[in-house]
Amino acid sequence: MQTTQLYSKDNLFLLNNLKGLAILFVFAVHSLARPYVGMLYPLGMPIFAFASGFAAKSDNNSVNIKYLSTLCSLYVFSNLLYAPFSAYLMYGQNEFCLPFLIIGPNAGILWYFIALIVWYLITPIFKASRYPIIFAILFCALAFSLVHTYVPWDVKWIYIPMIFKFYPYYIIGTLISWEDILRIRKFKYKYLCIPVLLVIFALYGSNILIYESQKDFYIHEISYIICAMFCLFAALALFPGRKLPLLSKIGLASLNIYIFHLYVNLLANKLFVKTIGYSPIILIFAVIILSSCILSSDKVSSIMGKAVSKTKKIIFGI
């Protein structure tokens, strides 16, 4: 199945369900609920990257300029949306940087849109090789290692290692077919994945596989890619493929939620602290679910689609 529309309604329920789970994880991990969802760490962003790759697949190994311009427009629109937030942070920390404010990525979350652009441009190079996934993993491992060694780890540069860390899942999404997914779902021993998943979730939930020192960095990154690849396989094999109330809708509009979730978290936390003095976890989760439902509504999706289209017309004239 092929789609080159970011806001298409022709997506598969399985991938929408997985994207729904992934975006709820991203929403929660950027809130005070982070300690409660840490066990899903190897499942969240890999699924998001995989689904993005699946949506970007094409019949030929070439760059679709229209799709690329949509990605660029989405980034520009989101960057402008978060520019006031970044300006406020820079001013408060006496680190105002106009070029970074204009170019971004602002708010520390918009690295993903830069990643989508970079991934889309480099994928034809790897797809032209005989073993694209192997070469992509080796390239990303080398690049990630070099970036970790030589690039400062702060909010201005965080997107660089993230691009290499999650690209393998994206390229798998571009290469896998729906027939391949069906074969995975028919795997005879797929339910044996459940106890392994529980062990992985327990290890991440208890912070055993979350590195605390630089000496453990590479061990934990290798562990992460192994666990994330297994979790992705298990999710494709086991997760419900039918339309699910709430989750399918949230997954279909996951980009809306990704763009606005940081502002929602900031406002909710500020509101709770000002009114009751603290941020109750149960209310944080309630805000996440409620705001995800609102942001995934047809009305919001329509407004977002028009906003991105208008941005694209202003920048590219198309």
53-70, pLDDT tens digit by residue?
998 887 777 788 888 999
CA angle 46, 107, 139 (to 5 degrees): 40
For position 238, what pLDDT does the model report? 93
Report domain extents, the chain.
13-316
Do the Cβ atoms of 299 and 253 come closer than 8 Å?
no
Mean pLDDT of 107-120: 87
- Spell out the residues 6+ positions from residue 109 whose beta carbon is closer than 8 angstroms to its own: 30, 82, 258, 261, 262
Q: With pLDDT > 90 as the criterion, what percentage of the chain qualifies?
A: 41
Instruction: Indicate if the pLDDT at residue 43 is higher than 80.
Output: yes
- Written as six digits, the tokens of 114 are 């830069």
For position 316, what pLDDT does the model report? 83
For position 235, what pLDDT does the model report? 94
Residue 82: C-alpha distances to residues 110, 158, 258, 261 (Å): 9, 16, 12, 11
Lowest mean pLDDT among 88-97, 187-196, 268-277, 301-310: 88-97
Residue whose token pair is 């105002």: 96
Instruction: Indicate if the pLDDT at residue 237 is higher than 70.
Output: yes
Give residue 153's pLDDT band: very low, low, confident or very high (50, 70, 90): low
Lowest mean pLDDT among 44-48, 117-121, 240-244: 240-244
Indicate the average pLDDT of the chain. Answer: 85
Instruction: Indicate if the pLDDT at residue 260 is higher than 70.
Output: yes
Of 71-75, 152-156, 227-231, highest mean pLDDT: 227-231
| Distance between CA atoms of residues 35 and 41, nearest Å | 11
For position 127, what pLDDT does the model report? 92
| Distance between CA atoms of residues 22 and 131, nearest Å | 28
Instruction: Indicate if the pLDDT at residue 44 is higher than 60.
Output: yes
Q: With pLDDT > 70 as the criterion, what percentage of the chain qualifies?
A: 88
